[in-house]
Amino acid sequence: MSRTALRTIAGSLAAVSLLAAAPAGADARMAKGLQDIQMLSDDPQDRAAFFADAKSSRATTVRVLVKWDGRSEEAPLDQITRIRRAAEEGREANVRLLVGSYVTMGRGKRAGAKVPARTQTRYVRFMGDVAKQLSDLPLAGYLTFNEPNYRTAWPTRREREWVRLSNRVYTAMKRADRGAKVLVGEAAPNTRSGDAATNPGAFFRKALYLDANYKPTSRSKAARTKLLGDGFTLHTYDFVRSPTKATTATDQWTHGNLKTTVAQVKRLARAGRLSGTAARNIHITEFAYRTAGGHRTPDARAARYLRSAFASAKRSRIKTFIWYQVRDPKGRSDWKSGLRTSSGKARKTWSVWRRLR
């Protein structure tokens, strides 16, 4: 064989070697997701419209929350029935459900108040039952708790107790649905107003016994507790500034701070408080711009912002990007962020959303 041929073969093998050495998933697409109460409607036309929009926009994940009444240890049949129906109808649209919960354990409680042990146990059993009743479905995964740093969901100054609760839920759901992915986090992005929430960066450090430099604040056994999860989740709303404009307060996990947010999640893993797998699998499970009220973002601006937000999430290797609400709720509502109006008219954000890849 000639030297030229040998050089050609060697070059080809080198190229193959470089391709094999490339990071897995380096060019993988970020998954798109949607959430809307419309998917659980008892009106088949509402559900059909939702899943048609999901399919046409190439969304592959749909987030849904089970409401807990604060007492039950078993998931209510009506909610499970609707979720199972949505999962079956979602298959035709090529989407899978990501199932979480809506709780208000902190509502009406003063800062630092304890959540009774019995209440926590009921919640653990409730979420385990949710997973048990859905375990035969091909779901995208589960979520242990929604916005633990928001005082209505969980009392402020009780961060460490929340970690123990989340870990119990994680274990219960993994036991009920073996092999399922269970994701954690889902913090509100900032303090919102007054003392309504704790900035998530500070919340997770306090919860996991770390100081501002991610060094242990205690040598006790409790201080070595790890937040269990197969992935980590974020809510990155920011109704005030561009999604590419960072704030000086990096403990705010708003979209403009996404780069430093991802870095902080990885530091939690390096400190041994989160698995490396979870830190490499970060999902944005709520994002949107409001269409009404004092925090409304004009449609044209929201469309520009959405395009920028999606691009920055891809650069940060976010695994899933979920928009909250396809249609505005009908009538009065304290939260409207639809890609469409309540009557179904498309906004500019919908046009952008459909084209995003």
Least confident of 16-25, 53-62, 264-273: 16-25
Least confident of 23-32, 42-51, 338-347: 23-32
Angle at 143 between CA 138 and CA 149, to 5 degrees: 170
> How high is the pLDDT of residue 29?
85
pLDDT digits (tens, 9 = 90+) for 194-247: 568 899 999 999 999 999 999 999 999 999 999 999 999 999 999 989 999 999
Domain membership flag for residue 345:
yes
**How big is the chain by its Cα radius of gyration, in Å?**
22
E strand spans, the chain: 31-35, 61-67, 96-102, 141-143, 182-187, 231-235, 282-287, 320-324
**326, 346 Cβ separation under 8 angstroms:** no
Tell me the average pLDDT across 99-103: 98
> How high is the pLDDT of residue 202?
97
Domain membership flag for residue 19:
no
The pair of structure tokens assigned to 68 is: 């807990």
**124, 170 Cβ separation under 8 angstroms:** no
Domain membership flag for residue 12:
no
Classify 132 as helix, strand or coil: helix
Domain membership flag for residue 182:
yes
pLDDT digits (tens, 9 = 90+) for 258-283: 999 999 999 999 999 999 999 999 99
Q: Could you give phi then psi for residue 309, rounded to 5 degrees?
A: -65, -45
Domain membership flag for residue 166:
yes
> How high is the pLDDT of residue 193?
55
Domain membership flag for residue 128:
yes
Average pLDDT, the chain: 92
Q: Domains in the chain: how many in total? A: 1
Q: What is the pTM of this model?
A: 0.91
pLDDT at 14 over 80: no
Q: Could you give phi then psi for residue 335, rounded to 5 degrees?
A: -145, 110
Count Cβ atoms within 10 A of the Cβ of residue 357 and give its class: 0-12 exposed, 13-18 middle, 19 or more buried: exposed
Q: What residue numbers bound the domain in which 33 lies? A: 24-355
pLDDT top residue among 117 and 6: 117
pLDDT band at residue 23 under the 50/70/90 scheme: very low
> How high is the pLDDT of residue 196?
81
pLDDT at 78 over 70: yes
User: Looking up tokens 């041994």, which residue turns up?
Assistant: 272
The pair of structure tokens assigned to 301 is: 């601006």
The pair of structure tokens assigned to 219 is: 């040598």
Domain membership flag for residue 346:
yes
Domain membership flag for residue 123:
yes
129: domain CATH number is 3.20.20.80
pLDDT digits (tens, 9 = 90+) for 280-332: 999 999 999 999 998 999 999 999 999 999 999 999 999 999 999 999 999 98
CB atoms within 10 A of CB 227: 23
> How high is the pLDDT of residue 195?
66
